[in-house]
Amino acid sequence: MSLLEEMNQKATAQGIPLSAHLDITWRCNERCVHCYLDHDGKDEMSTAEIKDVLRQLADCGTFFLSISGGEPLLRRDCFEILEYARELRFNVKLKTNAVMIRAKEAARLKQLGIEQVQISIYSDRPEIHDAITKLPGSLKRSIEAIRHLTAQGVKVSITNVLMKQNVKSGKAVQQLAKDLGISFVIDPTITPMLNGDRSVLNLGISAKELEEVFRTEEFVGNVGEYCAPVSTVDENVLDGYSCSAGHTLAYIAPNGDVFPCVQFPMPCGSLREKTFREIWWRSEALTELRSVQVRDLPTCSQCGHVAYCTRCPGLAYMEGSMRGPSPSDCAKSEARTGIPSAWQASQRSAPSGLVQIMLT
């Protein structure tokens, strides 16, 4: 067992919020077509409030901290916040589009000891990337920033979120990452907006295109092993949880509202009304979430995909029920193995009128 696995195991057993994702603003200088956020700057926490939140997180045992937005560098106090987080000994990752990072900013991030800078790159072609971000010149500026960061020795990772507009860009972006000497992650998931708007899901790639992604060796490694269904289910899987959201991970919005995860918009409390400690250990919503094991999921616990499904409880929550299946994750499992999930099979065998009611 690795040290990280041991830390996560102990944190889960003891209910420690080992990781936190803090958005310090939802304002952004890009307007990505698939973004799940509103981009207003209303009701943001002040510098003092954010520093107080960081102290509270440190007191509760948080170690891994992701600072993001919106675009976090739009806040003039962003580096002050990063510096304070490092003084508290957080392991800090910065999620940014990087268009505001030049040599000076890169040197400062190196000086602060930021663990990693994570940047989304949608294509190696500016006409595609810039059309998605709606910011002319954004690809050029992001790549220049990556070069500034790597020149300083800062670790950089780029994520390629796939959608209809850039579905053929994956290999090219992966090669760009290799050329730049940085890591690469491909992500075929489009999520509903936090305000409940599901129209952005129309940007997602087709089932056939998803199958192609899961059968591309450059993305998944050994395709045969990756796509092979698991014939037996370990009892430990059924006794476990879907993910770390609400167990060892918390998300804090710019206004101080607390949620299990950035993709799990179930309200748990406000840091302007209660302390993080009170919310983390006493929130009724989090208590309920933590009570749900995989074996308690009526449909998913009976599904042959349960051992390897990437089911996101946040997506399931937004798509109908925290205890229910996530149709989008069911689609991923079918694309990966070629076998329908239990939920898909039940929908396809139901009368068409019933299917329509259940899907809406």
pLDDT tens per residue, range 41-50: 789 999 999 9
- What is the average per-residue pLDDT within 249-253? 98
Rounded distance, CA 193 to CA 330, Å?
A: 20
pLDDT value of position 8: 86
Residues 222-250 have pLDDT tens digits of 999 999 887 667 777 787 777 899 999 99
Residues 285-327 have pLDDT tens digits of 999 999 998 888 898 888 888 888 888 899 889 888 889 898 8
Contacts of 153 (CB under 8 A, 6+ apart): 110
pLDDT value of position 352: 52
- Between residues 360 and 72, which one has the greater pLDDT? 72
Q: Where are the alpha helices (DSSP H) in 167-240?
A: 170-180, 207-214, 217-220, 223-227, 235-238
Rounded distance, CA 197 to CA 29, Å?
A: 21
Least reliable range by pLDDT among 101-110, 167-176, 301-310: 301-310
Name the strands in the sheet holding 156-161, side by side, starting at the edge strand that comes first in the sequence.
183-187, 156-161, 116-120, 91-95, 64-68, 19-23, 249-252, 257-259, 269-270
Instruction: Evaluate if residue 84 carries a pLDDT over 80.
Output: yes
Rounded distance, CA 254 to CA 45, Å?
A: 6
Rounded distance, CA 71 to CA 120, Å?
A: 12
Contacts of 115 (CB under 8 A, 6+ apart): 91, 92, 93, 155
Residues 56-77 have pLDDT tens digits of 999 999 999 999 999 999 999 9
- Between residues 127 and 39, which one has the greater pLDDT? 127
pLDDT value of position 351: 61
Least reliable range by pLDDT among 78-82, 141-145, 293-297: 293-297
Instruction: Evaluate if residue 349 carries a pLDDT over 80.
Output: no
CA–CA distance from 271 to each of 94, 161, 259, 321 (Å)? 22, 31, 11, 26
Instruction: Evaluate if residue 263 carries a pLDDT over 50.
Output: yes
Residues 181-208 have pLDDT tens digits of 999 999 999 988 888 788 899 999 999 9
- Percentage of the chain exceeding pLDDT 70: 96
CA–CA distance from 106 to each of 79, 184, 357 (Å)? 11, 20, 52
Average pLDDT, the chain: 91
Report the 10 Å Cβ neighbour count for 273. Answer: 10
